[in-house]
Amino acid sequence: MNEQQPANTADDPISSFLESVQDLRGEDKTVRSTAHSSRVAAEGWTRAEQNTGPDTAA
Amino acid sequence: MTTVQSTAPVDFHFGPIPVMHQTRVDRIRALTPTRPDMPGADPGLDVPLAYAAAHHYLEGAEPAARAGDIDLFDWYQANLDAGTGRLCASTAVGPCAVITPNELITSPISDTPFYLLGPFTDPAAAPERALARAAYKKAADTGFADLVTHHARILVFLGRKEYHDRFDSWTISRLPGTVFLDHIDDPAALARDLIHEAGHNWLNDALTATNTLLPGDAHFPSPWKNTNRPAYGFLHACWAFPLTMIYTANILDQDSELSAAGRDFLTRYLDLQRRFLAPTADTHPQALTLIPDPDLRERLRHVHAQALVL
C-alpha cells in the first residue's frame, strides 16, 4: 500500500484518529499474552511450557 | 488412570463483562466518524463478535495511521469490523471467523506472534472450517457454549500437529475474543485448546471489567512451568487448566464418538493435569486474596475446586 507522511494538522483524519486512540488507551499500556504449550507423548506428559515473558499466563 | 464423570456446568455469565464489551465496541467504532460513503460497522455482528473484530480494526488501523499507509488506513476506516463478516463460518455458537494465515506478525504489542484481520485476509478452507465448526459444537455440547460464544469468536489456526506433538496456543490482551491454536484433525482435541484460550480471554475481560490490578511482586509456585510465577500468570493457570480438565472429564464421559487415539490422548491429558493441579490446593487460596471482587473471586475458587476433585 502507498506510504505517505502523516499530516500534523489536528483536523487531518489520521491525526484525529491517533489522538482518539491515545485517549482510548489512556494509561493502559499493558500488553500480556497467555502462551501455553502442551505435549501428551506416548510416555506421558512432557513439561514443555514456553515462557514468553514475565507477564505470560498458562 | 481413573474413570471420569461429568461435572456440574460452569456459569460463565459475569455481569460486568457484557457491559464492558458493548462499551468498548462503541468507543472503538467512535474512533471513526460516520460517513455516508463508507459502510462502517457490520450491523449483522452480535456484540461478542463485534468486540473481537473491533480490536482487529483498532490494532490494524493504528499502525497504518502511524506509518502513513493511507490505503490501508482507509480500508480499516471503511471496515470497522476488519472484514470479519466475510470470514465467518456458521457454528453452534454463532458465526465465527476462521483463519489459516500463511504468516504471523511480530510486534511490540505482543510477546507472541499474532495475526490481524485485514484487506487480504481469506477465510479458511472448507476442511478447517468444518473442523472449527465441529470443535465449537464439542465445546457447546459439554457446557462451554457461553464461554466460547463470548470469548473465542475469531479462531486463528497455527500449525497442524499429531497427537504426540507439542501443541502451542495463545491469546494476547490486545486482541480479546481471538484465539491462536495449533490443531489436529480431531475436534475434541481442538475444543480443549479452544476452551483453554477462551478461558484466558474471559479472565482478562473479568479483570479489566472489575478494574482489578494484580501486584507484580506476589509470586506463587506454578507446577505447569515449574517456576515461581507472578499472581497474574498463576491465577490464569489455576483457571484455564481447570476449565480444560472439566471439559475433558465431560467429553470423556459423554462423547461416544471419540476415536480410540483421541480418547487415549484426552485421558492422559486429564490424568496428568490432576497431578499438576493438586499442589495448588494450598497456594490458590492465598492468590485469591488478591482478587478484591467477591463474585469474581468466588468464580475462580469454584472452578478450581471443581477440578481438584475430578
If we measure between CA atoms, which residue out of B22, B80, B60, B31 comes closest to residue A22? Answer: B31
If we measure between CA atoms, which residue out of B193, B145, B158 comes closest to residue B48? Answer: B145
pLDDT tens per residue across span A13-33? 899 999 999 988 876 655 566
For a pLDDT cut of 70, what percent of chain B falls above it?
97
The structural domains of chain B, with segments of one domain joined by +, span 16-308
Mean local confidence (pLDDT), A48-56: 40
User: How much is the pLDDT for B108?
Assistant: 78
Q: Shortest CB distance from A57 goes to which of B68, B110, B237?
A: B237
User: How much is the pLDDT for B4?
Assistant: 74
b vs e for B151-189, b when ≥16 Cβ sit within 10 Å of the residue's Cβ? bbbbbbbbeebebebbbbbbbbbbbbbbbbbbbbebbbb
3-state secondary structure of B285: helix
Report DSSP letters for B57-101, one per residue: HHHHHHHHHHHT-HHHHHHHHH-TTTTGGGGEEEEBTEEEEEE--
- In DSSP terms, B230 is beta-bridged to B219
For a pLDDT cut of 90, what percent of chain B falls above it?
85
If we measure between CA atoms, which residue out of A28, A47, A29, A27 comes closest to residue A39? Answer: A47
Chain B residues near residue A56 by CB distance under 8 angstroms = 111, 233
Q: Shortest CB distance from A17 goes to which of B65, B236, B241?
A: B65
User: How much is the pLDDT for A44?
Assistant: 39
User: How much is the pLDDT for A48?
Assistant: 40
Q: Determine, for residues B110 and A51 on separate chains, whether the beta-carbon distance falls below 8 Å.
A: no
Q: Determine, for residues B197 and A34 on separate chains, whether the beta-carbon distance falls below 8 Å.
A: yes
User: How much is the pLDDT for B112?
Assistant: 85
User: How much is the pLDDT for B88?
Assistant: 97
Other CB atoms within 10 A of residue B277 CB: 21
pLDDT band at A47 (very low <50, low <70, confident <90, very high): very low
3-state secondary structure of B217: coil
CA distance B54 to chain A (A): 13
pLDDT band at B109 (very low <50, low <70, confident <90, very high): confident
Q: Shortest CB distance from B68 goes to which of A6, A31, A45?
A: A6
Dihedral-angle region of residue B211 (phi above 0 means left; psi in -120 to 50 means alpha; beta otherwise):
left
pLDDT tens per residue across span B11-26? 999 999 999 999 999 9
Hey, what amino acid is at A12?
A: D
Q: How far apart are CA B29 and CA B237, in angstroms?
A: 33
